[in-house]
Amino acid sequence: FLVFGILIGSVARISFPNITYNSPYAINFILGLFSLACLFPITITASQCLLREKEYRFEQILYSTPITTGKYFISRFLLVFGIAVLSFLIFLSGFISGHLMRMDSSELWGAFHISYYIHSFLIIVIPNIFLCSVIVSCTAWLSKNKFAVYLSGLGIYVVYMVVSIYSNSPLMAGASPVSESAMQLAAKTDPFGMAAFSEQTNHWTSSERNSVLLRLSGNVLFNRVSVIIFSSVLLFISFK
């Protein structure tokens, strides 16, 4: 993840007209897209940690101990979620390092602000990792099947890409302009928050995109809170 982050920060160039590579707009876009990469450590960790007792026929012995089922499930979920967050933090460290390695005095780069990266990580990435961790973990608990766990991780990515293409998402290359009402609906329902990010910044000037942090208000706030609530309810149902 560290090497991958360095490569993305120093080599990959997703350019926008009059937008610097290290602007809040570019950072939000890139980190939002690559937050899907958290599915890899999530599926691996979930398949190994959440199904270990069943695989080794240790369930009955475990549940006969003073450890409650709730505490056990919470600790296992936090392990999956924590490893995913740590993995993305390593990627983010590499991404920042890549930017610092390539920054120069040209108009393609702006002043370095660590707050741009931290803000994007907290607003965009963390809720996305939480949602993916919940879906994959719940699949593991309900199916008790490793293959289903791997399919759930792949399914999240495939379904999101397919829906983005067929809904004419403004984030997809070559997409035609969408109506205001369609953008509002996408901003509220996009589980990874990228449509909400696009909707809020749609009418921003280049200067605003280069310097203004994504505001936790409007559809961005609605989207992020909705994702957290939905994930929490799904997690609660699985515990029951």
Q: Tokens for 138?
A: 């719940």
pLDDT of residue 213: 94
- How many of the other CB atoms lie within 10 Å of CB of 109? 15
The Cα–Cα gap between 141 and 14 comes to 39
Q: Tokens for 80?
A: 């999956």
Residue type for 152, please? Answer: S
The Cα–Cα gap between 40 and 91 comes to 13
Residue 160's Cβ-count burial label (10 Å; 0-12, 13-18, 19+) is: middle
The Cα–Cα gap between 139 and 134 comes to 8
Q: Are 171 and 198 in contact (CB under 8 A)?
A: yes
Nearest to 193 by CA among 133, 121, 137, 138: 121
Each residue's pLDDT expressed in tens, for the chain with a length of 240 residues: 788 888 888 876 667 788 898 999 999 999 988 888 888 999 998 888 877 655 555 555 555 555 566 677 888 889 999 999 999 999 999 999 999 988 887 888 988 999 999 999 999 999 999 999 999 999 988 888 888 899 998 888 888 887 776 555 556 655 555 677 778 888 888 888 888 898 898 889 999 999 999 999 999 999 999 999 999 999 888 876
Each residue's pLDDT tens digit, 20-42:
989 999 999 999 888 888 889 99
The Cα–Cα gap between 20 and 27 comes to 10
Q: Are 229 and 128 in contact (CB under 8 A)?
A: no
The Cα–Cα gap between 26 and 98 comes to 14
- How many of the other CB atoms lie within 10 Å of CB of 173? 4
Q: Residue 18's Cα: distance from chain center in Å?
A: 26
Q: Are 1 and 91 in contact (CB under 8 A)?
A: yes
Residue type for 151, please? Answer: L
